[in-house]
Structure 1
Amino acid sequence: MKKLINNAEDVIDEQLKGLASAHSELDVHFDPKFVCVAEGVKDRVAVVSGGGAGHEPLHAGYVGMGMLDAACPGQVFTSPTPDQMVEACKAVNGGKGILQIVKNYTGDVMNFQMAADLLRDEGIEVRNIVIDDDVALKDSLYTAGRRGLGTTVIAEKVCGAAALEGYDLDQLAALCRKVNTFGKSMGMALTSCMTPQNGTPSFELPEDEMEIGIGIHGEPGTERSKIKSADEVTEILTTRILEDEAYVRSLSEWDPESESWVDVEVTDIRFESGDEVIAMVNGMGGTPLSELYTVYGKLAEVAERHGIKIVRNLVGNYITSLEMAGMSITLVKVDEEILRLFDAPVKTPALRWGI
């Protein structure tokens, strides 16, 4: 294992110390661990997310003006604990409630729900919206249903902008739910990755093979084959996304009327000719930017062939899996509201424009 670390046990603390040194506009807390905007939140809904470390810049890299107000990093590939989320939400509580954006992994969903219950006991209104955009699977050992992937980044950007515009909590929850149903993702890997604590690959992948349908925690994909060209891989992923049928499932959300968690039926869109989309080609941590642009070139060609118009794009490392070589593709259908909010100014360590 070759990594730029000191002691494996200190990886998260040392990364957070570096983040604090580099970005004085953020408050970085260590007991419990969370990152929040230094200026706080006043008289509006706060937007909070979090997840295991190892996916940087997700989530702490998206804390700042026009995106997240706070983020909680867990241990590598491990959900943050409820006490982290509670303290992070209290630190940015602007008196109008909290929207928590949650990736669909069992630990994340459970811990964010526990945090929401604890916050409500203190009189803070909370809504949890789950992102489950991975078209590679419906169920796996790692999550109940589809996993949360790249649409998470778009949801954090759009909802952060909406919070600044003054959306109330119900409006923000509905917007986040819409972004989730408008987004679909799929990823692949050329190599595995190694967590600092274990020092061994999370799965074995021969030199001449690739894994299709991987998740972001180093879990193996849904199929394995000999390595194909960039164009062939991009064609596979993009076609799967564009031709994915509408997926009906139930996600757990808080119902204010019954004051209980209820299963809400959610249905994805199916992409149609004429749709406009945000396209994201995301590196998994170990793929050169030049290769990601090769993928984007083919993605644009396949999208055009299906009558899909890419109106905005992101190419780079946005939601990674340590040093894994590979990439994921995310397409999010846009309407006037989503596009306006995506274009709104943002200033975070990892994403900024319009400033």
Structure 2
Amino acid sequence: MVLNKHLINNPTTLVIEALQGLAYQNPTLSLDIKNKVVYRSNINKDQVALICGGGSGHEPSHAGFVGEGILTAAVCGNVFASPNASQVTRAIELVDGDQGNYTGDILNFGLAKEMYAAAHPEKSKKVKFLVVGDDVSVGRTQGGIVGRRGLAGTVLVYKIAGALSARNANIDRVYNVAAWVAERLGTVGIGLEHCHIPGTLPAQSHLSSDEIELGMGIHNEPGYAQVSPVPKLSDLVNDLLTLVISTSDPERSFLPFGSGSGQDEVVLMVNNLGGVSELELSGITREVILQLDAKKIKVKRVLVGAYMTSLNMPGFSLTLLLLPRNGEKAPASTEELLALLDDKTHAPGWKWSSGSPPGTINTAPEEQQTTSSNFTSTGRKIAAADPAGFVKAIKRAATAIIQSEPELTHLDSIAGDGDAGLTHKSGAERVLSIANSGSLDGKDVINSIAQIAKAASDAMDGTSGALYSIFFSSLVQSLHQSTEGKPELTLDIWTESLSGALDQLYTYTRARHPSRTLIDPIAVFVEALQSGNSLSDAVAKASTAADETKNLEARAGRAAYVGKDKVKGVADPGAIGVKVILQALIA
């Protein structure tokens, strides 16, 4: 479903309040509230003034790019609505300088330019107008009259033109370079869903849970194709890049790429449309760079982040700026264009970049330690009463945990941070892999448990992984002591060793039964064995303790921070995980 909730006072005042917030953050900005114009307070009249703008909801575009080295002013309309000509004219008046003005957008900006030129005929040649249309999802036939949409590639035009102005280039030079850059841009975006505009009726999802839209616009316009099921990222990126770099599609071959000649160099922008996590965005960046390298296209700069959003749309866009090849006639060389992109700016919306091509990944040297697959515990070697049954029990427990992932995830999404299922599954998969490789040996129980402890440490993140690893590592130490002079493991030795491991675990956590954590079933299990209960009875008591966590007030773990009403009647996922393990061990 589309997220319909927003943190605002009133939809009608949202844009003004947001601009005021921006001005509070950046004292170098001034604000014309009536006309929604953000402009630089200290303007160098000897430099070309750059004015741009459009509907709000695309932040940081456009106001976030007002600052030394990029825009001089931004004119803001209401959400997804263009500002009117009067607003644009006011912006021109506010920043009017000796070198002239350079403006963007279409109808209302064009009208403002003509109105200003009519009122100031002596300056008519000092106001230039440029439209950026970088969307490659709109084919030539479809966009024949209205033209292509301007997407995130517009921001690269801002930066290069703004840096030229800061270097005191005249208006003709700024315009010519900006126009050339605009013609060398290709952008395509995808959305997992549309966004919701504050103050409008609740939106309804128009995409299924396993469907995405290609070519979605930044004003909630539908894309040119819906795809189901959601493809793997590698397949999706390949499709998007094909749209941008194709030289054989008569509808969408807008850029003169060299068809894998190895001579193409680009600037890559991976733009967050507002609702994609930083984690996913970095993964997308990796995939794009690897695929461009495979296509023999050299990435000279990579820019990643939210540049031109669509409110909180869950999606992203890819932009390529095709740089001039050796010998190609262009108003600026590749070196100059890259230098202009690298020039420092104080505009808050411009993201950090390295100022260099993406290189090879500097990886850490190999660890000088053993891994789980060959980890051994030096010392006593002792066999289980049933060596083959010991390994089978471990495999059953690992398999049961893997199968319980959905249940644990569901429980933790209510009572915690939602990762318990995947964390337990990851650890269990590592243990099962070790067992299937033959590294676990029922005739060498201590070493086998040491490998399980290492697997929990390596594969399980978070508190549960640490607790399991400490417990099993402590169990290894206890078994060393408890088995001295003993030929075989017995239930009494297991009981003594498990008790010692629990005591050691208690030195690292203040959780005690009943605490609504995984400690509950472990403690009950060990205490039942100490009281002389059979193994099956001890497992039954521990299982009951795990189930009863749904009636307990959380005293430890993440659930302690969650309201009581939220977790009432919901068992602790860690405790249920222990229950699953114990029941599978004796099945």
> What TM-score comes out, normalization by structure 1 length?
0.88
Q: Would the alpha carbon gap of residues 122 and 245 (structure 1) be closer, same or farther in structure 2, given more than 3 Å must change?
A: farther
1:195 maps to: 197
**1:46-71 deviation per Cα after TM superposition (whole angstroms, max 9, x unaligned):** 11100100000000000001000000
1:184 maps to: 186
Mapped to 1, the partners of 2:218 and 2:60 lie a distance apart of 13
Q: State the 4+ residue runs in structure 1 displaced beyond 6 angstroms.
A: 246-249
Query: 3-state DSSP class of the match of 1:131?
Result: coil
> Match for 1:187: what amino acid?
G
- Asked if the contact 2:191–2:315 (Cα under 8 Å) also holds between the matched residues in 1, the reply is yes
2:206 maps to: 204
1:333 maps to: 322
Matched, 1:23 2:26: yes
CA-CA distance at 1:96 after TM superposition:
1.3
Mapped to 2, the partners of 1:284 and 1:62 lie a distance apart of 16
Q: Would the alpha carbon gap of residues 160 and 240 (structure 1) be closer, same or farther in structure 2, given more than 3 Å must change?
A: same
CA-CA distance at 1:274 after TM superposition:
1.7
RMSD, matched Cα: 2.2
Matched, 1:72 2:75: yes
**1:95-140 deviation per Cα after TM superposition (whole angstroms, max 9, x unaligned):** 11111133xxxxxx11111000111123232111111111101365
Q: Would you tell me which structure has more strand in proportion to its own residues?
A: 1
- Asked if the contact 1:40–1:91 (Cα under 8 Å) also holds between the matched residues in 2, the reply is no
User: Whose relative contact order is higher, 1 or 2, with alpha carbons under 8 Å and at least 6 apart?
Assistant: 1
1:86 maps to: 89
Matched, 1:298 2:284: no
Q: Would the alpha carbon gap of residues 339 and 247 (structure 1) be closer, same or farther in structure 2, given more than 3 Å must change?
A: farther
> Match for 1:341: what amino acid?
L
Q: Would the alpha carbon gap of residues 51 and 140 (structure 1) be closer, same or farther in structure 2, given more than 3 Å must change?
A: farther
2:344 maps to: 345
- Asked if the contact 1:54–1:321 (Cα under 8 Å) also holds between the matched residues in 2, the reply is yes
1:222 maps to: 224
CA-CA distance at 1:336 after TM superposition:
2.3
5+ residue gaps, structure 2: 324-333, 354-587
Mapped to 1, the partners of 2:100 and 2:242 lie a distance apart of 39
Which of the residues 287, 292, 298 maps onto 1:309?
Answer: 298
- Asked if the contact 1:277–1:332 (Cα under 8 Å) also holds between the matched residues in 2, the reply is yes
2:275 maps to: 286
CA-CA distance at 1:345 after TM superposition:
1.4
Mapped to 1, the partners of 2:54 and 2:47 lie a distance apart of 24
1:253 maps to: none
The more displaced of 275-284 and 58-67 is 275-284
Mapped to 1, the partners of 2:154 and 2:250 lie a distance apart of 18
Query: 3-state DSSP class of the match of 2:174?
Result: helix
What's the % identity of the aligned pairs? 34
Q: Would the alpha carbon gap of residues 90 and 181 (structure 1) be closer, same or farther in structure 2, given more than 3 Å must change?
A: same
> Match for 1:235: what amino acid?
N
1:127 maps to: 128
Mapped to 2, the partners of 1:79 and 1:204 lie a distance apart of 25
Query: 3-state DSSP class of the match of 2:104?
Result: strand
Query: 3-state DSSP class of the match of 1:346?
Result: coil
Query: 3-state DSSP class of the match of 1:130?
Result: coil
- Asked if the contact 1:239–1:302 (Cα under 8 Å) also holds between the matched residues in 2, the reply is no
Q: Would the alpha carbon gap of residues 245 and 49 (structure 1) be closer, same or farther in structure 2, given more than 3 Å must change?
A: farther
- Asked if the contact 1:151–1:179 (Cα under 8 Å) also holds between the matched residues in 2, the reply is no
CA-CA distance at 1:200 after TM superposition:
3.1
Mapped to 2, the partners of 1:14 and 1:350 lie a distance apart of 17
> Match for 2:257: what amino acid?
F
Query: 3-state DSSP class of the match of 1:16?
Result: helix
Highest Rg: 1 or 2? Answer: 2
Mapped to 1, the partners of 2:208 and 2:351 lie a distance apart of 38
Which of the residues 6, 10, 28 maps onto 1:7?
Answer: 10
Mapped to 2, the partners of 1:204 and 1:143 lie a distance apart of 28
**1:180-234 deviation per Cα after TM superposition (whole angstroms, max 9, x unaligned):** 1111110000011011121433872222110000111111100001111222211
1:136 maps to: 137
CA-CA distance at 1:327 after TM superposition:
0.4
Mapped to 2, the partners of 1:76 and 1:11 lie a distance apart of 9
Query: 3-state DSSP class of the match of 1:299?
Result: helix
> What TM-score comes out, normalization by structure 2 length?
0.54
Mapped to 1, the partners of 2:75 and 2:288 lie a distance apart of 33
2:257 maps to: 271
- Asked if the contact 1:212–1:221 (Cα under 8 Å) also holds between the matched residues in 2, the reply is yes
Q: Would you tell me which structure has more helix in proportion to its own residues?
A: 2
- Asked if the contact 1:8–1:196 (Cα under 8 Å) also holds between the matched residues in 2, the reply is yes
Mapped to 1, the partners of 2:257 and 2:5 lie a distance apart of 42
Mapped to 1, the partners of 2:93 and 2:47 lie a distance apart of 13
Q: Would the alpha carbon gap of residues 149 and 53 (structure 1) be closer, same or farther in structure 2, given more than 3 Å must change?
A: same
Which of the residues 39, 48, 52 maps onto 1:36?
Answer: 39
Mapped to 1, the partners of 2:87 and 2:152 lie a distance apart of 23
The more displaced of 305-314 and 119-128 is 119-128
Q: Would the alpha carbon gap of residues 183 and 203 (structure 1) be closer, same or farther in structure 2, given more than 3 Å must change?
A: farther
> Match for 2:319: what amino acid?
T
- Asked if the contact 2:164–2:340 (Cα under 8 Å) also holds between the matched residues in 1, the reply is yes
CA-CA distance at 1:167 after TM superposition:
1.7
Alignment of 1:243-262 (within 5 A): 243-244=246-247
How many pairs align?
331
Mapped to 1, the partners of 2:266 and 2:202 lie a distance apart of 38
> Match for 1:271: what amino acid?
F
Mapped to 2, the partners of 1:80 and 1:122 lie a distance apart of 20
